[in-house]
Copies of this chain bind each other. A is one copy, B any other.
């Protein structure tokens, strides 16, 4: 289809995005969206950009790309203890976009918005001669003064992490069909691949984090690097038992087949789990609240004094990951 036959921006928005938009979007027909904040709440705002071949791959389905773009932002909100309120999308489309692609993208985005309770409020669609580029700004709410920060980890507190670590990095690695992948069943491979494609933001943990955690961040650039970042921001360090870092059955099997994959699990990106620091006295109650929303918590270590990189204890050895964090830059 030639570009002349394509719908203009207004008709594209009306056809694909208006049907999935929330109330505050005003039908995506105005210059801006409206959001009435809940009285007694602070807003939490975050933005993440995704570029084709950097943050996702051209062969990923449009619905997966949409879900990831929203999911990584909702994950940031969750880590701050914020309930999602809505998001804005900026979409730079390469010239070879098709209506089918856009229809599937919008449908996946609408589904993710429902799953994450985070309605579409507004957006902008432009063309680019470069790769597909998306930017999502998500807005959340926390009761005033209750945002969970990175800078407030306290010495002696427990280091916890949700879910399992390393699946996404292994899922991405799987695409090049490495030797170790032969030791995995199809279901295990599918699990890892899915974790790379489809972040599962832990927004249902937001309230429990506010009530129990002293500090938190989401794990997006690798556990080791993100932990180092949070400890540095808090002026402390941490001692981690690597054997306590939760691995899925698939990841554990992969690490057995090829032991260096444990390093990949600890340093790879795209987990979108929550790394949180919890005073010991809150641990039981936090675990109960997490159970209620179906989220598994693992204790992996403790905050200690010092300014060095966190230590990972592993088979009697101590290890520091000094380039642990994968930066998309």
Contacts and interface: CB of A to CB of B under 8 A. Distances in A.
Contact of A151 (B12, B29, B123, B130): B29
Interface in A30-71: 30-37, 39, 41-51, 53-55
A134 to B, nearest CB: 9
B329 A127 contact: yes
Nearest to A131: B130
A126 B55 contact: yes
A182 interface: no
Nearest to A216: B31
Contact of A150 (B30, B44, B125): B30
A82 B130 contact: no
Contacts of A45: 32-35, 86, 88, 121-122, 137, 139
Contacts of A21: none
A178 interface: no
Question: Most B CB atoms within 10 A — which of A43, A79, A147?
Answer: A43
Given A9-B328, A88-B47, A124-B135, A36 B130 contact: no
A282 interface: no
A92 B51 contact: yes
A89 to B, nearest CB: 7
A186 interface: no
A37 to B, nearest CB: 4
Contact of A128 (B32, B39, B130, B137): B130
Contacts of A149: 26, 30
Nearest to A53: B129
A164 to B, nearest CB: 20
A249 interface: no
Interface residues of A, number: 68
A199 to B, nearest CB: 14
A9 B329 contact: yes
A125 B329 contact: yes
A133 interface: yes
Interface string A5-25: 000111010000000000000
A30 B82 CA distance: 14
B49 A126 contact: yes
Interface of A: 8-10, 12, 26, 29-37, 39, 41-51, 53-55, 76-77, 79-80, 82, 86, 88-92, 121-131, 133, 135, 137, 139-140, 144, 147, 149-151, 217-218, 229, 233, 327-329
Given A32-B82, A34-B45, 10 more contacts: A8-B329, A26-B149, A32-B44, A33-B46, A34-B42, A46-B122, A47-B137, A49-B91, A51-B92, A124-B135
Which 9 pairs from chain A and chain B are nearest by CB? A130-B130, A90-B135, A32-B46, A9-B329, A137-B137, A135-B135, A31-B76, A49-B90, A47-B88
16 contacts: A9-B328, A9-B329, A30-B149, A32-B45, A34-B42, A35-B44, A37-B42, A39-B39, A45-B86, A46-B122, A48-B90, A49-B90, A49-B92, A54-B128, A90-B137, A127-B328
